[in-house]
Chains A and B, each alone.
Chain A
Amino acid sequence: MRLEPIPAPSLARRLGLPAFALILTALVAMGLVALAGAAPGEVAWLVLKGAAGSQFALLETLNRATPLIFTGLAVAVAFRAKLWNIGAEAQLYLGAVATVVLGTGLLDWPPAVLLPVLAVAAMAAGALALLVPTFLKTRFGVDEVVTTLLLNFVALLFVSYLLEGPLKDPMGLGWPKSPPLIDEARLPRLVEGLRLHWGFGLALIAAALVWVIQTRTIWGFEIRAVGLNAEAARFAGMPVNAVLVRTAILSGGLAALAGFSEVAGAKGALTLDLSPGFGYTGIIVAMLALLHPLGVVVAAIFVAGIFVGADSMSRAAGVPSFIADILLASALLAMVLALGLTRLRIRR
């Protein structure tokens, strides 16, 4: 038995296998639910109802999807260039730090000026966080997977230091928390009366912009070329290192916007639990979206729905909400396998 490459896979193969992967994943999750002593059908229904069963649930899902769109885009952009940015978590937190430093009264400008400044400052902080590992990669050949992973821990400790020191809220009653943002620094609601902030709108705009960059610009072409074959790209005269640096700025900046939007839109202050792993979940979102920027929006809403639905299901049915993480991790693996198999066939 061996595997053979298929030169031009059919459309049925390209769509059928990922669909099969998702069904397989759902079956695995159902089995685990049964193991917990609950009825799989009922649990699936509760997840669906919790994620999209009411206006409140739907808005909660979209709110939760917002940071995931940003981190998913960050990962998708970087992975396209084979820049393995696993540090979206660190970039998210540094973006949040920049937002809090400037947005708690240091700058007191009208929202129309302040909000763009905060967003750009956050992006700069996140870009910087990814430029360090990128520089170590291009200059010293140090694998960025390990460095970005390790920097996640450093960034979290840095935030912990800030929240107990310079950025501590004097009114915080000892809880590690930053002072609240001033009103001018808060993202307004998308529609008056509905609990959905402008971070979601910004995320959709970001996804559209990334799509334009990737498909309609020379830079996007260079990113893809470097990702497919860095040697060939270099031979064709492309500045490979410069492309990687530009990709890092974009990717780090996008991840940082997740932190900006969570602080300025959702929470209003920085805490140590601002992100329950949005940076890592971004990898799942990007892979489920096949690294396509518009697909990231769909995948992020799907993933957020699973999380929100599982939370509410867990309260009602008593199945641990970690079932959502298992479901998504297996979906990631099944999807990668399905993608691999679209280009391979098994021969006896």
Chain B
Amino acid sequence: MTELLEILLSASFWAAAIRIASPLIFAAMGELICERAGVLNLGIEGIMVVGAFAGWMAVYSGLGLWPGVGVALLSGMAFGLLHATLTVPFGLSQHVVGLGITLLATSATYYAYRLALPQVTTPPKIDAFDPYAIPILSDLPLIGPALFTQTPLTYAAFATAALVAFVLFRTPLGLALRACGENPAAVAAQGLPVTGLRMGAVIVGSGLMAVGGAFLTMSAFDSFFFEMVNGRGWICIALVVFGAWRPGKTLLGAILFAAFDALQIRLQQTPLGAALPYQAFLAAPYILSILALVVMSRRAQVPAALMVPFRKGER
């Protein structure tokens, strides 16, 4: 018990939690935008793989770190455009298209990796983002090292969440986007382009997912591995439900989830870790996500037009 307290009160534990949360925040915000506009994006897992590879490869080929993030963003937006074209104007099954995008994006990434680096056995490393201590704030006890001694990409994740919250709930564009997810016919009656708004949401959202993937290769680690995304995309979909489609709650959910993930890694080193198989700890985050879905399902405010295609002039 004292060991648990010791872990929970250590700054390094919370620093790890914030670090683990960062890619989830990016990707979950991307998914949230898509779903708020009425499109379920199951391409998230594959788009994160693309972003992880594209950002890393761009830096490896000589680009700067921030331009690398830009490349990741664009690669995600490209797959977002494909997803949006198939699901919005054509109104095809969002389940099947999303899974198809994940399969396509993943295999295209692995193919590109093999083409770019045919001979390597261990993937090369890049100079990834370094932590940047924010002056004054980083001197605060506990939260200083936990929150304000992170890499710039983590600060960008939090800024993104704030921006998404602001745009969705404080601007006319956000109102129109949310209305697309609740009652697209009403949006069309206002003379606004439902198709364009929804496609834009999916493209921008997919870009954010790719940046979430890029965080893994450019900030959390400094290299690209197969299967490094490892279900994080699916967890983000659960996080959006857990956060009741609200950016603030989704952000908190991501941190909570990441704290749990960081905790299970640390608990493996304790006597409890010796008593239980390590697979139980690794499975815990997935099981936790499922339990969170069950608990939240009763109160969930699902966007009314989620997964409902819209064609002008049809009811």
Binding site for B on A (CB under 8 A): 2-3, 5, 32, 35-36, 84, 86, 136, 140-143, 145-147, 149-151, 153-154, 157-158, 160-161, 164-165, 280, 283-284, 287, 318, 320, 322-323, 325-326, 328-330, 332-333, 336-337, 340-341, 344
The 7 closest A-B pairs by CB, nearest first: A325-B107, A320-B114, A329-B104, A329-B103, A161-B279, A322-B111, A157-B279
A165 in complex: contacting residue of B114, B277, B282, CB < 8 Å: B277
- For residue B124, CB closer than 8 A to chain A, the reply is no
* Given A151-B290, A157-B279, A337 and B104 contact (CB-CB distance below 8 Å): no
B149 to chain A, nearest CB (A): 31
Residues on B with C-beta less than 8 A from A284 are: 103
A333 to B97, CA, bound (A): 6
- For residue B293, CB closer than 8 A to chain A, the reply is yes
Instruction: Please tell me if the beta carbons of B110 and A320 are within 8 angstroms of each other in the complex.
Output: yes
A154 to B100, CA, bound (A): 22
Residues of B105-151 whose CB lies within 8 A of A:
106-108, 110-111, 114-115, 118
A345 to chain B, nearest CB (A): 12
A142 to B118, CA, bound (A): 43
Q: How would you classify the secondary structure of chain A's contact residues: helix, strand, loop or mixed?
A: helix
A141 to B293, CA, bound (A): 9
A84 to B237, CA, bound (A): 15
- For residue B84, CB closer than 8 A to chain A, the reply is no
B99 in complex: contacting residue of A5, A86, A326, A344, CB < 8 Å: A86
Residues on A with C-beta less than 8 A from B294 are: 136, 140, 142
Residues on A with C-beta less than 8 A from B280 are: 161
Residues of B279-315 whose CB lies within 8 A of A:
279-280, 282-283, 286-287, 289-290, 293-294, 297-298, 311-314
A146 to chain B, nearest CB (A): 5
Instruction: Please tell me if the beta carbons of B92 and A340 are within 8 angstroms of each other in the complex.
Output: yes
Residues of B52-93 whose CB lies within 8 A of A:
82, 86, 89-93
Instruction: Please tell me if the beta carbons of A336 and B92 are within 8 angstroms of each other in the complex.
Output: yes
B36 to chain A, nearest CB (A): 16
Q: Interface residues of B, CB < 8 Å — how many?
A: 48
B234 in complex: contacting residue of A2, A136, A149, A326, CB < 8 Å: A149
A5 to B90, CA, bound (A): 11
Query: Looking at A35, A86, A164, A326, which has the most chain B CB atoms within 10 Å of its CB?
Result: A326
- For residue B196, CB closer than 8 A to chain A, the reply is no
Q: Can you sample 28 A-B contacts with CB below 8 Å?
A: A35-B115, A36-B115, A84-B95, A136-B293, A143-B293, A146-B238, A146-B290, A146-B293, A150-B235, A153-B286, A157-B279, A157-B282, A164-B277, A280-B103, A283-B96, A284-B103, A287-B96, A320-B110, A322-B110, A325-B107, A325-B111, A326-B107, A326-B111, A329-B100, A329-B104, A330-B104, A337-B86, A341-B90
A8 to B152, CA, bound (A): 57
Residues on A with C-beta less than 8 A from B237 are: 145-146
Instruction: Please tell me if the beta carbons of A150 and B238 are within 8 angstroms of each other in the complex.
Output: yes
Interface flags, B29-58, vs A, CB<8A=1, else 0: 000000000000010000000000000000
B262 to chain A, nearest CB (A): 18
* Given A150-B238, A320-B111, A160 and B92 contact (CB-CB distance below 8 Å): no
Instruction: Please tell me if the beta carbons of A158 and B100 are within 8 angstroms of each other in the complex.
Output: no
A326 to B91, CA, bound (A): 23
- For residue B101, CB closer than 8 A to chain A, the reply is yes
- For residue B231, CB closer than 8 A to chain A, the reply is yes
B95 to chain A, nearest CB (A): 5
Instruction: Please tell me if the beta carbons of B287 and A3 are within 8 angstroms of each other in the complex.
Output: no
Instruction: Please tell me if the beta carbons of A143 and B241 are within 8 angstroms of each other in the complex.
Output: yes
A321 to chain B, nearest CB (A): 9
A75 to chain B, nearest CB (A): 10
A151 to B231, CA, bound (A): 10
Residues on B with C-beta less than 8 A from A141 are: 297-298
